[in-house]
């Protein structure tokens, strides 16, 4: 595998890329959908709702959290996860800009 040269790209480009990578797996999209529907929940709730094992859900939650797409709040002995809307709105803004540029070029 080749070396990626992220330093050659802007902070914005790297951030958008990180967000896109984080949602590039269907399980992560399903987790985001579930968190939005439930307005936050713990890992075991996600495990019960999706066809994924607890370790798999935990790995996907970690990837989403590392990208900043979700946040966690300690509630008793568990962590309640919820969607962080700021990076999602940033990704939406970027996609809207791409769409507008595409429409101008048609």
- pLDDT at residue number 19: 95
Residue 3's pLDDT band, with cuts at 50, 70 and 90, is low
Q: Cβ-count burial of 11 within 10 angstroms (0-12 exposed, 13-18 middle, 19+ buried)?
A: exposed
**Domains defined for the chain, CATH in brackets:** 8-105 (1.10.10.10)
Per-residue pLDDT of 9-59, as tens digits, reads: 999 999 999 999 999 999 999 999 999 999 989 999 999 999 999 999 999
3-state secondary structure (DSSP) of residue 46: helix
Q: To the nearest whole number, what is the mean pLDDT of the chain?
A: 93
Residue 83's pLDDT band, with cuts at 50, 70 and 90, is very high
* pLDDT at 104 > cutoff 90: no
The DSSP symbol for 6 reads G
């Amino acid at each position: 595998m080749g070396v990626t040269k992220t330093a050659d790209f802007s902070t914005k480009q790297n951030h958008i890329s990180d967000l896109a990578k984080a949602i590039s797996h269907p399980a992560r999209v399903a987790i985001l959908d579930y968190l939005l529907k439930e307005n936050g929940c713990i890992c075991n709730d996600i495990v019960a709702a999706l066809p994924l094992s607890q370790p798999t859900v935990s790995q996907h939650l970690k990837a989403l959290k590392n990208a900043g797409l979700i946040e966690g709040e300690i509630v008793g002995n568990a962590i309640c996860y919820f969607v962080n809307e700021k990076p999602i709105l940033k990704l939406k803004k970027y996609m809207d800009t791409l769409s507008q540029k595409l429409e101008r070029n048609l």
